[in-house]
Amino acid sequence: MSAKSFTTIGHETKDHPIYIEEWEQLAKEKLKKGPFDYVRSGAGDEKTLAANRAAFDKWSIYPRVLRDVTDATTRTKLLNQEISLPLLLAPLGYQGIIHPDAECASARAAEKAGIPFVTSTVSTRSLEEVAEAAPTGKNWFQLYWSNNREVSASMVSRAEAAGYQAIVVTVDTGLLGWRKSDFKNGFAPLKEAMGDANYRNDPAFRKSVPHWTEENIREEILKNILHPNLVWEDLLFLREHTLLPILVKGILHPDDAEKAVDLGLDGIIVSNHGGRQLDGALASIDALPAIAARVNKRVPLLVDSGFRSGSDLYKALALGADAVLIGRPYIYGLAVSGEAGVTSIIKNLQTELDLTLALSGANSINELSTTNLIQTGC
């Protein structure tokens, strides 16, 4: 911890975006309506999208003073790996609709920051290309379950072979949410071939498409990606095909968290998919305390949906999370300035978390607990 964050303020910084809202506005000006709305919007009437932000106001930081915080640090360990701060770049697909460098730019920014980047199944660039772009990165792979089990098995095997360090299985997308903006705009990035690289390059998927035409490829992807019949026991199938840690993403109920631990899964991500799936679902930060109490540090516990600031990260860590994933913020950075924009988003969050930690009287995120917060809203 140092005073550097203060001494860099000057004329040369006044035009740089600082607030996430600034980045969002600049991204809106730069992108076409379809891609921008695809990123920004939520499901239904966007009640859960709004709740994700409003829920942070229920908690206030309860600072302590006159403590030596000279050496305050955000460094921590996740899945036995040291990371520079408890932050990951969440798996957002179709990044080619945002910037031509797509996931490769985001992965490089995460690599330089020393934090994990989670590549989506529906990435514009293949998982192998992303790994090559960030060869020393802490790369994770997110899996959308395929109705053809062999495709799921093949993808996780490819991820392991490419050097990925964890598998994240998303479990809240058996069907796609009611996304009004996309219908109104007539915008579907998969139909524009912006998220099919991992399928096109997969041997098991290629085998399942007897007549290799664009129409057949898209049809087969859509048949695979929707899986309303997925159940817990299906996830055990992945254990036969990878030695990597498997985390489950999309948990909001403590009973489901308990089930994940009982089945031997290696981590839990509390998530409502950024308010993009089930409108009316509770905010992720509201779901976190009960899940943290139930999991009780038996496996790593992560959270996403609605995070915009260092104080947001702090509150999640105090409520029991081991790390936080951000999505829209870094995508706005990518839209505005490519890799440099993503780097700026990460640096600003790190600086704010550094300061929040020290100003609250804590030296390490490992010191944080609910005693560092007070509930001031309902």
Q: What are phi and psi of 296, to 5 degrees?
A: 50, 45
Q: Are 69 and 362 in contact (CB under 8 A)?
A: yes
3-state SS, 10-37, equals: CHHHCCCCCCHHHHHHHHHHHCCHHHHH
210 is in an annotated binding site: no
Residue 119 host element (H or E): strand 116-119
> What gap in Å lies between CA 316 and CA 331, rounded to an integer?
21
93 is in an annotated binding site: yes
- How many Cα neighbours within 13 Å face the side chain of 23? 27
120 is in an annotated binding site: yes
314 is in an annotated binding site: no
Q: Are 306 and 285 in contact (CB under 8 A)?
A: yes
> What gap in Å lies between CA 64 and CA 104, rounded to an integer?
42
307 is in an annotated binding site: yes
75 is in an annotated binding site: no
> What gap in Å lies between CA 139 and CA 154, rounded to an integer?
18
Three-class secondary structure of residue 291 per DSSP: helix
Closest of 282, 74, 48, 246 to residue 160, by C-alpha = 246
144 is in an annotated binding site: yes
> What gap in Å lies between CA 142 and CA 164, rounded to an integer?
10
142 is in an annotated binding site: yes
305 is in an annotated binding site: yes
170 is in an annotated binding site: yes
369 is in an annotated binding site: no
Q: Are 323 and 302 in contact (CB under 8 A)?
A: yes
Angle at 52 between CA 297 and CA 115, to 5 degrees: 55
Kindly give the interhelix angle for 149-161 and 232-239, rounded to the nearest 10 degrees: 40
308 is in an annotated binding site: yes
> What gap in Å lies between CA 334 and CA 341, rounded to an integer?
5
> What gap in Å lies between CA 347 and CA 349, rounded to an integer?
5
271 is in an annotated binding site: yes
- List residues with catalytic annotation: 273
> What gap in Å lies between CA 246 and CA 165, rounded to an integer?
10
**Which is it for strands 138-144 and 267-270: parallel, antiparallel or unpaired?**
unpaired
276 is in an annotated binding site: yes
Binding-site sequence positions for glyoxylate: 38, 144, 179, 273, 276
Binding-site sequence positions for FMN: 91-93, 120, 142, 170, 249, 271, 304-308, 327-328
Binding-site sequence positions: 38, 91-93, 120, 142, 144, 170, 179, 249, 271, 273, 276, 304-308, 327-328
